[in-house]
């Protein structure tokens, strides 16, 4: 029988900086909060979130023997960006500086699954989850003892702050669970005060319809005249609520070379070059293997035009 401590040791040996375990059980309170968030319309045009409940039901029905969820964290913080190149570049959220973390982490989780089977002496069933399964990852991470959910809706880890990718192995291993992490932002409202679009609600939580990350990545239509100047020079995503968080000071350079700026396009994109991409195929070739493909050519063009306007006005 493999122990929880051995599971964590294996996770660490594969480069996962954080690892916690929780039961494969419903998260009733978190699920109800998520349902109400969607019903309020604060998910914007992300229609795939509207059938979360039915997708979750199908997932768990397909894995009736699930007993434990191993939650891992990958530190993606990097503080070595190249210098900015003048007034025709737009900023990129730190998570997209290197290669696509979905692929990078999933590959490492496959190795983790194989190692667990070797240790257990049998074929362990372990579903790999990297933003692709109907799981409330941050709530699972909190329940598995990795940190608490901040007012800006991100998990805040006591050692790595907000700079963690979360992923899971839902497994048939019966493991000892960790104690949920108890913590809160207290009276701190820095992220709420500093968000240029007021996307973070006074009581905490995100209104995606006003979030720069949503507007530049998930939103397919035009950005409204009200919000267009407020995206500033963010051409893909936004890190502002993470950067100003006191926990952000805990950032430590990632040991995952695939996630560093040198492995991808780094912290900025040439806006003129974006506008010169001539076809969807050229767009896909250029950004292959990176999270930048989450935005299509039309979206990145829209973003680049807005940022160039903002840079010309210096209105942020």
Which residues are catalytic, by number? 131
The answer to whether the beta carbons of residues 217 and 130 sit under 8 Å apart is no
- DSSP 3-state of 107: helix
Locate 127 and state its tokens. Answer: 């579903």
The three-point CA angle 40-165-30 to 5° equals: 35
Neighbouring CB atoms inside 10 A of 98's CB total 25
Q: At what angle do helices 4-13 and 101-120 cross, to 10 degrees?
A: 140
The span from the CA of 297 to the CA of 314, in Å, is 25
Strand 68-75, strand 18-23: pairing: antiparallel
Give whole-number Cα distances, 229 to 194, 225, 296, 303, in Å: 15, 7, 21, 11
Dist CA 199 CA 218 (whole Å): 15
Question: Which token pair is 131?
Answer: 């933003």
Q: What is the 3-state secondary structure (H, E, C) of 259-290?
A: HCHHHCCCCEEEHHHHHCCCCHHHHHHHCCCC
Intra-chain end-to-end CA distance of the chain, in Å: 57
CB atoms within 10 A of CB 190: 15
- 């996770």: which residue's tokens? 11
- Centre a 10 Å sphere on the Cβ of residue 126 and count the other Cβ atoms it contains: 24
């Amino acid at each position: 029988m493999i122990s929880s401590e051995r599971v964590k040791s294996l996770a660490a040996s594969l480069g996962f900086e954080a690892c916690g375990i929780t039961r494969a059980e419903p998260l009733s309170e978190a699920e109800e909060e998520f349902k109400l968030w969607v019903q309020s319309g604060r998910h914007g045009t992300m229609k795939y979130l509207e059938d979360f409940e039915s997708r979750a039901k199908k997932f768990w029905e397909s894995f009736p023997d699930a007993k434990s969820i191993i939650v891992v964290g990958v530190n993606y913080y990097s503080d070595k960006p190249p210098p900015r190149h003048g007034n025709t570049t737009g900023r990129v959220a730190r998570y997209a500086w290197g290669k696509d973390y979905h692929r990078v982490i999933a590959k490492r989780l496959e190795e983790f699954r194989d190692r667990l089977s070797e240790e257990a002496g049998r074929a362990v069933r372990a579903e790999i989850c990297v933003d692709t399964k109907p799981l409330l990852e941050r709530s699972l991470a909190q329940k598995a003892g990795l940190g608490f959910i901040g007012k800006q809706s991100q998990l805040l880890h006591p050692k790595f702050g907000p700079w963690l990718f979360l992923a899971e192995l839902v497994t048939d291993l019966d493991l000892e669970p960790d104690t949920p992490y108890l913590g809160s932002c207290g009276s701190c409202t820095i992220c709420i005060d500093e968000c240029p679009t007021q996307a973070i609600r006074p009581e905490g939580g995100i209104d995606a319809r006003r979030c720069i990350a949503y507007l530049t990545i998930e939103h397919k239509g035009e950005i409204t005249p009200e919000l267009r100047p407020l995206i500033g020079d963010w051409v893909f995503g936004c890190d502002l609520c993470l950067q100003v968080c006191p926990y952000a000071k805990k950032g430590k350079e990632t040991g995952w070379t695939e996630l560093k700026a040198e492995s991808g396009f780094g912290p900025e994109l040439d806006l003129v070059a974006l506008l010169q991409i001539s076809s969807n195929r050229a767009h896909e070739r250029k950004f292959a293997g990176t999270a930048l493909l989450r935005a299509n050519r039309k979206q990145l063009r829209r973003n680049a035009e807005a940022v160039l306007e903002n840079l010309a006005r210096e209105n942020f």
